[in-house]
Amino acid sequence: MVSQTQTRVLTCIQCGKCTGSCPEAGRTPFNIRMLVRKKQFQSVVEESIPWYCTSCGACTLRCPRDVKPSEMIIEMRSALVENGAIPAAIQKALENTFVQKNPWGRSRAKRGAWFEKLDIEVPHISETESKRLLFTCCIQAYDPRCMVIPQNVATILTKGGVEFGVLGEEEACCGNEIRRVGESGLFEELQEENKAAFEEYGVKEIIALSPHCMNALKKEYGDLGIKIVHYTEVLAAMIKEGSIVPKGSFNKKVIYHDPCFLGKQNGIFDEPRSILNAIEGLEPLEFSRSRENSMCCEGGGGRMFFEVEATYQRNAEVRVQEAVEKEAEVIATSCPFCVMTLEDPATEKGITVKELSEILMEVL
């Protein structure tokens, strides 16, 4: 845990690989290499700058000296958080998370509302034999656009005979974004609350629906002794085994966008693609920047709650533009934040954004 958050700014040789891979570089005042330099010399950094970082992690992955620049940004944000001087929208998200355990401040009592109207039974984790937990994620529990993702996955798992349960209102925000915003104290509280629930119900396996939750649970909750997977891993295996069979066809050109927290940060590239490849009629396309080099949609690191002064073209627009040029009809992805950021410009260009589970639901 400690080693992860420890940055090594003093070892930086200013090679610039970080800036070269940064989705904010060039177009915004955010220059990660320069920030590391400033940190080395302990010079003052303008307060608005650290909030540009999307926590995509590219800098940390590319750094030849293991400086962990993205972690350094979290430290900078932490100092601002402790001072109490943070952008109002971030403050609101943190205060909401403190009270309702989700950044949008929606009622915690309604965290399980997504499965109330489903045709299938979604049991509480305590009622399951497998103790396999479906971890919903805040945005997917509340946002009507994203709510379909847990609904779809729950339906598909049930069809394929995979037993699972949920925590409902006992689930708290995973804290992945909270930690990245720099509120480590709140992250610890969320983590303790979730861990206590995992322990109480003897959870053995967690299927995370959002790559962001998966990342936190897998890498930042310490050793839980629980197997943690992303749902695409489970579905890919189910298709392979034949426990679910895509029967229908999906006769469209589909371009897959790798979410940063699924792909480059956790190495899950092939499972989502194997799901798409198993669908008849579907013509898969690739972005020029895909897999490890996938371009960040700018939805991470707190940017879902807060927008920087944007006078530049958003990455999501760049992404959609390329999809249009490649004549894709559908942009597929497997992260709720990516869905939210991509959908806006996509709608404008008359192209559809679908979360993987949505495509799969159409053909099962």
Partner 1 sequence: MNILVFTKRVPATQEEELRIIDEGQGIDLSKVPFKVNDWDNYAVEEAVQIAEKTGGSATAISIGDAESDEVLRRAIAMGTKDGFLIETEQILHDPNARATLIFNFLKKEGTPYDAIFTGVQSEDDQFGAVGGILAAKLGLPFVSMVISIDAFESDHVIVRRELEGGLQERVRVMLPCVISIQTGINEPRYVSIMGVRKASKVERKIFKAADYQENLVSKIEAVKWVYPPKKGGATILSGELEGVCKDLLGILKEKGVYQ
Partner 2 sequence: MSYALIVAEVRRGVFEERNLDAIGLCALMEKDISLLVTDSTYAMNEKLVNTIIKIKLEEALFLNPLNMVGVVKTVMDFSGKPDVIVFTHSSSGTELASYVAGYFNLPLITDVNGFDKERGVFYKSYYSDKIFGEFKQTGQGPFVITVRSGSFKEYAVEKVSSPIDETIEGIPIAEGRSFVEYVEEEKAEIDITKAEFLLSVGRGIGNKDEIPDYEELADLLKATLSGSRPVIDKMWLPKARQVGTSGKTVKPKVYLAMGISGAFQHIAGMKDSDCIIAVNKDPEAPIFQYAHFGIIADIHKVRNKLKDILKG
Q: How far is CA 327 from the centre of its chain?
A: 27
Q: How far is CA 150 from the centre of its chain?
A: 14
- Contacts to partner 1 from residues 131-170, by CB under 8 A: 169
CB of 89 to partner 2, least distance (A): 6
Q: Based on the shown chain and the rule CB under 8 A, indicate whether residue 100 belongs to the binding site for partner 1.
A: yes
Decide whether 146 or 228 has the Cβ nearer to partner 2.
146
Write down the residue that tokens 């990660």 correspond to.
32
Q: Considering CB distances under 5 to 8 angstroms, the limit depending on partner class, which of partner 1, partner 2, none binds residue 159?
A: none
**Where along the sequence are the contacts to partner 2 (CB under 8 A)?**
89, 92-93, 104-105, 142-145, 305-307, 309-311, 314, 344, 348
Identify whether the C-beta of residue 208 lies closer than 8 Å to the C-beta of residue 171.
no
CB of 36 to partner 1, least distance (A): 25
Cα–Cα distances (Å) from 183 to 9, 34, 82, 177, 178, in that order, read 21, 24, 8, 9, 6
- Residue 324 CA to residue 318 CA, distance in Å, equals 10
Q: Which of 156, 356, 151 is nearest to 259 (CA)?
A: 356
Neighbours of 60 (CB within 10 A): 22
Q: Based on the shown chain and the rule CB under 8 A, indicate whether residue 110 belongs to the binding site for partner 1.
A: yes
Q: Based on the shown chain and the rule CB under 8 A, indicate whether residue 109 belongs to the binding site for partner 1.
A: yes
Decide whether 179 or 303 has the Cβ nearer to partner 1.
179
Q: Going by DSSP bridges, is the β-strand pair 205-208/132-135 parallel, antiparallel, or unpaired?
A: parallel
Percent helix, strand and coil across the chain, each to the nearest 5: 50, 10, 45
CB of 320 to partner 2, least distance (A): 13
CB of 161 to partner 2, least distance (A): 33
Q: Which of 11, 13, 26, 82 binds partner 1 (CB under 8 A)?
A: 82
Q: Based on the shown chain and the rule CB under 8 A, indicate whether residue 179 belongs to the binding site for partner 1.
A: no
Decide whether 145 or 253 has the Cβ nearer to partner 2.
145
The residues of the shown chain that bind partner 1, judged by CB under 8 A, are 81-86, 88, 91, 94-95, 98-100, 105-110, 169, 183-186, 188-189
